[in-house]
Homo-oligomer: A and B are copies of this chain.
C-alpha cells in the first residue's frame, strides 16, 4: 500500500495549516506538535495512507481530545490519553484497530491521532470528518452520514476509562462524554466512529491532512522569503477570500460547561479602515458581521490569522491589540447538504440565519 511518512517539517506545516483550518478552535496544535516531534526523534514513524487506498475491510476509528481548548493551555495532556481511549475501544469490540482517522483536521485534533497511531504502530488516514473544527460530536460527517456513534471510549490522563456501548443517539453521547470530560478535569481523549474502510470512504472528507500541510508550507515558504503577500499565499491553497483586516479591540470570552464561548470585535485598517467586524465563537468562529452585515457563517470557515506572519490566532489566544486578517474559506460540499446544514448550519448554533455560501455573500 502507498503511504507517506510524516517528517518534522511536515509537522511544522500541518500545525500551521491545521491551526488555520481550526477556525479558532480544535485546540492549539502547538503542544501536540512538540509531542509528535519527540516521537519522531525517538524513531517512531507516522505513516499516512490516502483515503482511496484504505481496504474496505479495515477497522478504523477516530480519536481526539474533548473539552474546552482553554483548559489544555494550563493543563497539558499527559500524552497517554488517546492510546488509552483506542485501547479501551479495541477491548470492547474485541478487535485491533487497523488505522486511525482524524475527526477534525482543525487544531490539535489533527495531530492527536498521529501521536496515538505512531505509538500503536498503525497508519493514519489522509482525511477527516469536518474539513475544519467543530465543537461537538454530532457535527462529524461520520455521524451526519448515518454511521453509529456507538461504541465510544473515553480516557483521561489519570487512567480512568469509560466505554459507551450503546445509547439513545449522538446527542446523548455528546452530553455524557462531555460531562465526563468536565469531571475528568476539563479534558479527555475520545475514541469513536468505529467503522470499516468502506464506511470511511463514504463519509469522510478526503485529503485534508495533505491540505493542511500545503497551507502550512505556503505560510512557511512566504515567511522564509520575507514575503509581504503571506495572506494571498494562504489563499492560493484554498478557494478563500479576505473578509477583513484590522486590530482586535475587544474580547468577551467565558469558559463553562466544557466550552469557550464569546465574541471578538475588530477595527478595520488598510482597505477596511473605518469598518468594523464582530465574530462570535463557540470554541470555533461561527458568524462574521462586517459593519453589521453577515459576511460568512458556519459551516464555512472563518479564520483569524496574524497579518504579519500568517500564524493562526485561536479563540483562547485572542486579545486586545492583535493585528489580524480574517479569511473566509468555503467548507467541504459534504457540509453544505441539507442533512449536514441541519447539524452544522447557523441555526444549529442558535442563530436565526439561513446558511448562505461565502461566495454568494461576498
A274 within 8 A of B: no
Question: In whole Å, how far is A361's beta carbon from the nearest beta carbon of chain B?
Answer: 38
Chain A 130-172 per-residue mask, 1 if CB under 8 angstroms from chain B, else 0: 0000000000000000000000000000111111111110001
User: Which of B88, B158, B162, B175 contacts A183 (CB under 8 A)?
Assistant: B175
Chain A 169-181 per-residue mask, 1 if CB under 8 angstroms from chain B, else 0: 0001001100110
Query: Dominant SS at the A interface?
Result: mixed
Count the copies.
2
Question: In whole Å, how far is A222's beta carbon from the nearest beta carbon of chain B?
Answer: 47
Which B-chain residue is minimally distant from A168 (CB atoms)?
B158
A182 within 8 A of B: yes
A238 within 8 A of B: no
User: Which of B172, B179, B180 contacts A158 (CB under 8 A)?
Assistant: B172
A236 within 8 A of B: no
A91 within 8 A of B: yes
User: Which of B161, B172, B176 contacts A164 (CB under 8 A)?
Assistant: B161
Q: How far is the CA of A184 from the CA of B182 in the complex (A)?
A: 15
Q: Return chain B residues, CB-CB under 8 Å to A160.
A: 164, 166-168, 172, 176
Are B162 and A176 in contact (CB-based, < 8 A)? Answer: yes
Given A179-B182, A180-B180, decide whether A163 and B166 contact each other with a Cβ distance below 8 A: no
Question: In whole Å, how far is A179's beta carbon from the nearest beta carbon of chain B?
Answer: 4
Are A159 and B168 in contact (CB-based, < 8 A)? Answer: yes
Question: In whole Å, how far is A81's beta carbon from the nearest beta carbon of chain B?
Answer: 13
Question: In whole Å, how far is A68's beta carbon from the nearest beta carbon of chain B?
Answer: 16
Chain A 194-237 per-residue mask, 1 if CB under 8 angstroms from chain B, else 0: 00000000000000000000000000000000000000000000
Chain A 72-101 per-residue mask, 1 if CB under 8 angstroms from chain B, else 0: 000000000000000010011000000000
Q: Return chain B residues, CB-CB under 8 Å to A165.
A: 88, 91-92, 161-163
Q: Return chain B residues, CB-CB under 8 Å to A92.
A: 92, 163, 165
Question: In whole Å, how far is A149's beta carbon from the nearest beta carbon of chain B?
Answer: 12
Chain A 91-128 per-residue mask, 1 if CB under 8 angstroms from chain B, else 0: 11000000000000000000000000000000000000
Q: How far is the CA of A174 from the CA of B184 in the complex (A)?
A: 12
Are A166 and B161 in contact (CB-based, < 8 A)? Answer: yes
Which B-chain residue is minimally distant from A183 (CB atoms)?
B179
Question: In whole Å, how far is A297's beta carbon from the nearest beta carbon of chain B?
Answer: 30
Which of A88, A161, A164, A182: most chain B CB closer than 10 A?
A161
Residue pairs across A and B with Cβ atoms less than 8 A apart, 17 shown, are A88-B165, A91-B165, A92-B92, A92-B163, A92-B165, A158-B167, A159-B167, A159-B168, A160-B172, A160-B176, A161-B166, A162-B165, A163-B165, A176-B183, A179-B182, A179-B183, A180-B180
